[in-house]
Structure formats: C-alpha cells, structure tokens
Amino acid sequence: MAKKSENTSPDATGKVEEKNLLKIASSQIGVKEIKGSEHNPFIEEYARRVGITVDGDETPWCSTFVNWCAAEAGLQTTNKANARSWLYVGRPVEDPRPGDIVIFWRESPDSWKGHVGIFWGYSKDGRKVFVLGGNQGDKVSVAAYDAKKILGFRRLTTANELEFPEPVISLWDRGNNVKQLQIMLDQFGYDPGQIDGVFGPNTQRNLLAFQKKEGLKQSGVYDQQTFTHVESKHMS
C-alpha cells in the first residue's frame, strides 16, 4: 500500500487548496524503483489506485504518480499513463503557482512523448523549472527542467461532478444559479472573477467568449441553447 497522505475537505467554494497536493506529493519523496525483477509496491499502488496498467515499477510512471496525488487530494485526474493527457484537464494558466500541473515535451514539441509533474517554482534566471514528480531519476523527487520545453500549466479543481445551471440567466441576476455558471466558466478555462453569485459585466464577457468559441449565438445570456450545448457536449 502507498504511504498514507494528509488530505482535507474542499473549502466553501468547492475547491481543494493546491498546497494539499504538494503535501501529498512531498510525503512520497524518496520512493524509487527497484532494479531487476522485484518491484516497489508503492509505485504499483499508485497505478492500481487510478486504474492504470503497468508492467512493474520500471514502466514510465510520471503521469501515474500525478494521477495518484490528484486522486488523493480529491482533484481532477486523467487516469492515463501519458504525460500529455494533462493538457486537457483543469484549466490553462499563464501565472503558475506551486501546486499547478506542468507538462513538458520530450524529443520534440510534436512528439507524443512528454513529462508531467507538480510545479514547485522557477530558478532565479527563469531558465529552469523545479518540479516535484515521479519517475524523476527513477524516483519521486524535486528536479529542474528546461523552461523552454514547457507545453503548458494546468490548474486542477475538485473532482466533484460539474453541475450545469438552469437557464435563463442574464446580466445582474443573482443567486446560486449564477454561482454555478461562474464555476462552470472557471472550469472551462474562462475567468469570471470572484465566484460571488452576481452576474456582472466580467461574467458576461467570459460567457460571450465561451459562446463565440463554441459557435453559439453570442447573446451574453445563459440561454436554453447554451445550456443544451454544454449539457450534450460535456455530459456525454
């Protein structure tokens, strides 16, 4: 069994603080592969916990480790062994903070190969990124990677099922339905600002941006068409 890790419940906004992900990952520092026919049961447990099939502890396991950490923290997972699968989970961020997910390319930006870990920070000159992750020197460790090879940063949210608000919602509406709309936009990669249940101009701008990208009528109103679209696309 993998080491027991500390976890807490989501806060009032439904989000789990990223520092908990770092605590969970840090508790595993030093777990390493066992060379030869014997395999480290901790690494095999990472895979079992998230439903990934591995052939011992020497199968590339950087994504497996991040999946395990995220699952332990109650955050979104990919349940996939390939590092680049993390480019499609959570929301993209340009201002990473410790606890965000960072994805790198290997060999070529166009290759399927990559590496994924948990962002720790930049070097003073910004040329290196410190990453807490698995399969780094065949173990869980903090290692430095070339910042030029970054494919992206993702910010994870709680793994709870996303609830889509009921239409119709328009400018200056208030209440829990608006709050659900703001959470939905945030999880889709649009920043509505404070999750306060007030449909203000910033929420409307981000809804318009979402409608434009999705090929919907740009009404700035969360209408029946928008509801039907997100329900069919994201619940299928």
CA distance 223 to 64: 40
**C-alpha count within 13 angstroms, C-beta hemisphere, residue 50:** 29
Rounded to the nearest 5 degrees, what angle is found at the Cα of 175, between the Cα atoms of 168 and 14? 110
What average pLDDT does the segment 31-35 reach? 91
The CATH code of the domain that includes 214 is: 1.10.101
Question: Is the residue at 163 inside a domain?
Answer: no
* Paired strand residues for 92: 154
Is residue 100 located within the same domain as residue 216?
Answer: no
What average pLDDT does the segment 170-178 reach? 94
The CB-based long-range contact list for 54-59 (8 Å cut-off, 24+ gap) reads 54/81, 57/33, 58/33
Does the structure show a pLDDT above 60 at 161? no
Does the structure show a pLDDT above 80 at 47? yes
> Domain range holding 96?
18-155
Domains in the chain, number? 2
Which is nearest to 95 in space by CA: 23, 200, 191?
191
**pLDDT-based confidence at residue 188 (cuts at 50, 70, 90):** confident
Average pLDDT score, the chain = 86
What average pLDDT does the segment 212-227 reach? 95
Question: Is the residue at 10 inside a domain?
Answer: no
Is residue 131 located within the same domain as residue 221?
Answer: no
Is residue 90 located within the same domain as residue 151?
Answer: yes
Question: Is the residue at 169 inside a domain?
Answer: no
The CATH code of the domain that includes 88 is: 3.90.1720.10
Is residue 125 located within the same domain as residue 71?
Answer: yes
